[in-house]
Structure 1
Amino acid sequence: MGGAFVAAAFLARLGGRIGLPTIPLFILAGILLGPNTPGFVLLEDPHDLEMLSALGLVLLLFYLGLEFHMDDLKTGGKKMAVAGCTYLALNVGAGLGFGFALGWGTSEALVLAGVLGISSSAIVTKILVDAGRIGNPETKPILGIIVVEDIFLALYLAALQPVISGSESAGETAWQIAKAFGFLLLLAIAARWGTKLIGRLFAIKDDELLVISFLGAAVLVSGIAEQFGVADAIAAFMVGLILGNTANGERIRELVHPLRDAFAAIFFFGFGLSIAPGDLPTVIWPVLIAVLITVVMNVGAGLFTARIYGFGAEPTANVSTTLLARGEFALILATMAAAAGLDERLSPFIAGYVLILAVLAPLVAGRSHWLAKILPGGRNTPSEEAAAIPEPEPANSGR
């Protein structure tokens, strides 16, 4: 763990000198020091960091929930739902069509639909934080799309598992979906009507006890959620949403920053450990085509979202590029596919696809003003020089 922190910090400092974002550098540190590349191996088994990586994901999404206010959900819920469903329809639909076009099999096509269709909540959150865009108007639709994706993720996983494993029990599939939906409903009820009661439970003056309390709540609820077939990410988001709307929401945001930043680095480092770049050449052309499809679908979804919200070219470009990354969910699907004995080309394909987009997305998101220039209305955007100046980060960003 110490080596992971030091390696991630060292590469990030080097990259910072030439203006590179931290996410791909953390991932690169994991690749270089993992078992899939020659040279010194820090960790033979990526599972050694599995729990810490999971904690990093939980804290990233918990922080995202803290920044998402109930008023935003109440006033913009319909728009967010439409934007999220459209994003899923475009990307999941394109992924399913691409999967069938490859001819690897029906189960493989269903897996690829999820791989190409769902953004990385962790990377999207980190991009928004690093770019200082949490307060931007287009961030609310981005968060809304992430929420819709995570809800879809829970139901999708529940339905996919028995399909790719050859289960013939429709009743079992329906029960898994019902459990996931029921737990999500409980979280939604708590977010809507339980804020005052929960706020009293977290009315703690001592910082130490408050940290222990909110960390325990986020991790415990996330763990329980997984037992019900709900992704730990969406559960952590919902806990953050609830606590962020209590009287201590601002204090919790400040206290969670160092935890979020430290364990997020471990998450991305662990992400790199699981990638085997040597397998990429065998599936390079399908990977490149899939990346191109994802870019096109994201721009299309960004344009649709912009039309709903009345955004100009720059917010449209921010939506399109921020949601481009694919990550933890795709790797979960790769594990499921391998366990089910599906086509052996799936694992290297998913690893290559995720690696390229995990590196590309932060780089492109940081230069989204280039895309804005060629989008409708792009001629009216500020000059490249003005757009390149980073926005001031909120005082509580923790950087």
Structure 2
Amino acid sequence: MGHADTLLAMGGAFVAAAVLARLGRRIGLPTIPLFMLAGILLGPHTPGLVLVRDAHDFEMLSALGLVLLLFYLGLEFQLDDLRAGGRRLLAAGGVYLLLNVGAGLGFGFALGWGLREALVLAGVLGISSSAIVTKVLVDSGRIGHPETRLILGVTVVEDIFLALYLAALQPVISGAEGVGETILQAAKAFGFLLVLAIAARYGTRLIGRLIAVRDNELLVISFLGAAILVAGVSEVLGVVDAIGAFMVGLILAGTPSGPRIRRLVHPLRDAFAAIFFLAFGLAINPADLVSVAGPVAAAVALTIAMNVVAGLFAARLYRYGPGPTANIATTLLGRGEFALILAAMAATAGLDGRLAPFIASYVLVLAVLGPILAGRAHLLARVLEAAGAVRPRRRGRTSREERPSDDQEPGLPDDEPAEPTEAAAARSGTP
């Protein structure tokens, strides 16, 4: 592709993605599936206007978008939320992952696509999109609800699991020969993550001094260089490049420059992450979506069922009534950026060609269906109450999480602001 053609394709792709995203927001849809849809419509496999003939033309920009997306997630990662939640949060998040990841693994084996494909599907079905989850909470006005702290806490547990899962999955799906080589690659990956974790725990003061600068231009160059360099080192060591960027974000989040870096990286993340989602859509042939319609429908039904079961467990653990239970079950349905990361890994490793269209369809369906179901969670609450699955909250009896303090509005949990927090509002803007 020539220089002029590249500029035309990139500019047209950005404009088309922006138009679709604006139309989608008018009816309350998240931007992630709309960017993917723009790629599908403007790609070489769809009749009509074709802006990009080869998705590989956007390969480097797409990789940069993924790095920035995970880098920002690391900046937003709040380990204090996990500590504050205690054992109950770990239990709720662990059961959510166990049910959904386990169901995804069993579903992969049931499809008969192979062990590596089943491991990818386990992550796809098991991990919700923190961007879509937070957007649903903000758009529905539930940031101040008692169960919101639990929902966001579960996404924190998922983030930790994602980093570990990707580190363990990479040597398996990359075709490591023999158990010994697989263990060696996994040990190398976890050793690298351990070094970065130690830096995040004990090295933030020194790193903060090294990166501290008043000029925003120099700060942008510094954190971008650090994120991309460590991502490259991660790739060399057999760790997914985006996880290296995630750990850099986690380290820089603890420095005095962390808040400034979050503000500065936000527009960069939005632009390049949009390219990542659009490039993924470019590689999808709409004809392939039809061939996986049956498995996608089954996977969506399975995900909804597992989320309801996980919601019921959390309700019993936290003594919530039918309303919060339904909110938990429906809000965590969204799947997005993490599923597409796994899809990109599967494509690079040369796994079953049906994985990409399956994941694309699955993400598109749940990204649209999730917010719709979350907006009608009261209907599920009535069903749960009528079935006796959750006992209605008795008037005057509330759990500690639901009991408002004297200077607090009724219905808001202790220490929870009535307005969306900066972190939550920022996460909701993820494309």
**1:205 CA displacement:** 1.1
Give the TM-score normalised by structure 1: 0.82
**Unaligned ranges ≥5, structure 2:** 1-9, 385-389, 395-410, 412-417
Contact kept in structure 1, 2:167 and 2:239, CA below 8 Å: yes
Q: CA RMSD in A?
A: 3.4
Counterpart in the other structure of 2:51: 42
Equivalent AA in structure 2 for residue 147 of structure 1: I
Contact kept in structure 1, 2:132 and 2:334, CA below 8 Å: no
Of 329, 332, 335, 1:322 maps to 332
Of 161, 165, 184, 1:152 maps to 165
Shift in CA distance, 13/101, structure 1 to aligned 2, threshold 3 Å: closer
**Counterparts of 1:57 and 1:191 in 2: how far apart (Å)?**
21
**1:111 CA displacement:** 4.4
Q: Deviations over 1:87-134 (max 9, x none)?
A: 332223212322333344555444433443344566567767877888
Of 172, 175, 184, 2:193 maps to 184
**1:11 CA displacement:** 1.6
Number of aligned residue pairs: give it: 384
Counterpart in the other structure of 1:90: 99
Larger C-alpha radius of gyration, 1 or 2? 2
Shift in CA distance, 218/315, structure 1 to aligned 2, threshold 3 Å: farther
Shift in CA distance, 244/3, structure 1 to aligned 2, threshold 3 Å: same
Counterpart in the other structure of 2:152: 139
Contact kept in structure 1, 2:105 and 2:122, CA below 8 Å: yes
**Counterparts of 1:62 and 1:129 in 2: how far apart (Å)?**
22
**1:275 CA displacement:** 2.1
Shift in CA distance, 141/96, structure 1 to aligned 2, threshold 3 Å: closer
Counterpart in the other structure of 1:335: 347
**Counterparts of 2:87 and 2:172 in 1: how far apart (Å)?**
25
**1:193 CA displacement:** 0.9
Equivalent AA in structure 1 for residue 32 of structure 2: I
**1:47 CA displacement:** 1.9
Counterpart in the other structure of 2:236: 227
**1:257 CA displacement:** 1.9
**Counterparts of 2:42 and 2:333 in 1: how far apart (Å)?**
28
Contact kept in structure 2, 1:321 and 1:365, CA below 8 Å: yes
Superposition pairs for residues 1-399 of structure 1, below 5 Å? 1-76=10-85, 81-106=90-115, 108-120=117-129, 137=149, 138-162=151-175, 167=177, 169-305=178-314, 307-308=316-317, 313-314=323-324, 317-318=327-328, 320-322=330-332, 324-326=334-336, 327-335=339-347, 339=350, 342=352, 345-364=354-373, 371=380, 374=383, 376=390, 393-394=420-421, 397=425
**Counterparts of 1:225 and 1:187 in 2: how far apart (Å)?**
11
Equivalent residue of 1:162, what SS? Answer: coil
**Counterparts of 2:224 and 2:319 in 1: how far apart (Å)?**
38
Equivalent residue of 2:292, what SS? Answer: helix
Shift in CA distance, 336/20, structure 1 to aligned 2, threshold 3 Å: closer
Contact kept in structure 1, 2:136 and 2:331, CA below 8 Å: no
**1:40 CA displacement:** 0.9
Deviates more, 1:192-201 or 1:278-287: 278-287
Deviates more, 1:346-355 or 1:136-145: 346-355
**Unaligned ranges ≥5, structure 1:** 381-385
Give % identity: 62
Deviates more, 1:356-365 or 1:29-38: 356-365
Contact kept in structure 2, 1:61 and 1:122, CA below 8 Å: no
Equivalent AA in structure 2 for residue 328 of structure 1: L
Counterpart in the other structure of 1:383: none
Give the TM-score normalised by structure 2: 0.76
Shift in CA distance, 210/323, structure 1 to aligned 2, threshold 3 Å: farther
Shift in CA distance, 260/196, structure 1 to aligned 2, threshold 3 Å: same
**Counterparts of 2:266 and 2:38 in 1: how far apart (Å)?**
22
